[in-house]
Amino acid sequence: MYIPEQEVRALLTYDALIPAIRQALIDYSAGLVIQPPRSILRAGNAEGERNGWFAVMPVIAGDAMGVKTVTFFPGNTESGLPTHMAMIELLSRSTGQPLAVMDGRLITEMRTAAVSAVALDALAPPDAASLGILGSGVQARSHLTALRKARPALNDIRIWSRDPAHANRLAAEAGARAVPIEEAAAADVVLTVTSSPQPVLQGRWLAPHALVLAVGAVGAHLRELDDVALRGAWLVAESRQGAERESGDVLLSGAQVQAEIGEVLAGATSPPRGGRIVFKSVGMAIEDLTAARLVWQARNAATGPDAA
């Protein structure tokens, strides 16, 4: 069966996705997930930053197998197309039978935000009240929804964007404030979801107790955070292997990953109290498989397993 994006949108909810992602991250760090590094090919369609890429992400976990193919073409914004597009194939682990093929663009968007929500709940102090967002695109919107699910007490939302009109628009939609970057970066929790290839977040703006959720700049030569932001911070990743292979924030700063978020969630380690924490996500196939399984299960519950 093929499940298009509009059906994925009707079936997948953060209420189901966030706890499922939490367990998936625990399982990954416990060694229960078979997930090789993703293969990435440059498309060669343009020079420099406009050069797109194509990635293949296979995974096996629990009763299912899956593979996501995902593309990122930065120049698509000029033609009104999404910069990220994806397809996910879900298969039975016991028989190899294909169960469903579904559009993966929205799944990628939602599972990324769900991972950040899980990290926020595990790493932010209970009294965190302010959230600064650097960026105003698709991920900024999805993160607002997911982070508010995890921490409803985040009531001071500050938004900065390189395009002030975009920041004002999102702020009006979300009941937030469009602010200078320094004010956004001084919040208790700081989310970076930009497409900038160079650091936009300066460590000197951060509060000593800040939690930074670094989501953008996936690539060994791309950065959103400067060295000061990472220096002295307790660095957490979805995957040590992923962060040390694909994150320019980690590679170019020389920062060391202190823990995987799954280890924190399982109680195997804890962040120091009162200090700065940086959580770096690059995305993993187990997150896509987890979301795709939820979509497939919800569709079967609604229409019956034999519906095509």
Mean pLDDT within 11-36: 98
Same domain, residue pair 101 and 179: no
Same domain, residue pair 142 and 96: no
Mean pLDDT within 95-104: 97
Nearest-angstrom CA–CA distance, 60 and 300: 21
Nearest-angstrom CA–CA distance, 73 and 79: 11
In a domain, 308, yes or no: no
Same domain, residue pair 76 and 168: no
Same domain, residue pair 40 and 153: no
Same domain, residue pair 100 and 210: no
pLDDT digits (tens, 9 = 90+) for 189-228: 999 998 778 899 999 999 999 999 999 888 888 899 999 9
Mean pLDDT of the chain: 94
Mean pLDDT within 278-283: 96
Same domain, residue pair 156 and 211: yes
Same domain, residue pair 159 and 196: yes
Nearest to 213 by CA among 232, 198, 229: 229
In a domain, 117, yes or no: no
Asked if residue 257 lies in contact with residue 235, where contact means CB atoms within 8 angstroms, the answer is yes
Same domain, residue pair 87 and 207: no
In a domain, 79, yes or no: yes
Which CATH number characterizes residue 221's domain? Answer: 3.40.50.720
Q: Locate 190 and state its tokens.
A: 């700081």
Same domain, residue pair 67 and 158: no
In a domain, 112, yes or no: no
Check the CA dihedral 67-240-24-277 and report its sign: negative
Give the pLDDT score at 83: 86
Give the pLDDT score at 185: 98
Q: Which residues pair with 237 in a beta bridge?
A: 260, 280
In a domain, 27, yes or no: yes
Per-residue pLDDT band at 74 (split at 50, 70, 90): confident
Same domain, residue pair 142 and 244: yes
- Radius of gyration in angstroms for the set of CA atoms belonging to the chain, rounded to a whole number: 19
The gap from C-alpha 99 to its chain's centroid, in whole angstroms, comes to: 25
How many percent of the chain have pLDDT more than 90? Answer: 83
Mean pLDDT within 259-279: 95
Per-residue pLDDT band at 308 (split at 50, 70, 90): very low
- For the full predicted model, state whether its pTM sits above 0.85: yes
In a domain, 76, yes or no: yes
In a domain, 247, yes or no: yes
Provide the residue range defining the domain that includes 101.
Answer: 2-107+286-303
Which CATH number characterizes residue 40's domain? Answer: 3.30.1780.10
Nearest-angstrom CA–CA distance, 124 and 132: 13
In a domain, 234, yes or no: yes
Same domain, residue pair 251 and 295: no
Sole residue written with tokens 């034999």: 306
pLDDT digits (tens, 9 = 90+) for 126-166: 999 999 999 999 999 999 999 999 999 999 999 999 999 99
Alpha helices in the chain (DSSP H): 5-11, 14-29, 105-123, 138-150, 164-174, 181-185, 227-230, 240-246, 248-251, 261-265, 285-303
Asked if residue 74 lies in contact with residue 83, where contact means CB atoms within 8 angstroms, the answer is yes
Asked if residue 129 lies in contact with residue 155, where contact means CB atoms within 8 angstroms, the answer is yes
What Cα–Cα distance (Å) separates residue 266 from each residue in 28, 250, 300?
11, 24, 31
Same domain, residue pair 96 and 225: no
Asked if residue 233 lies in contact with residue 211, where contact means CB atoms within 8 angstroms, the answer is no
* Total number of domains in the chain: 2
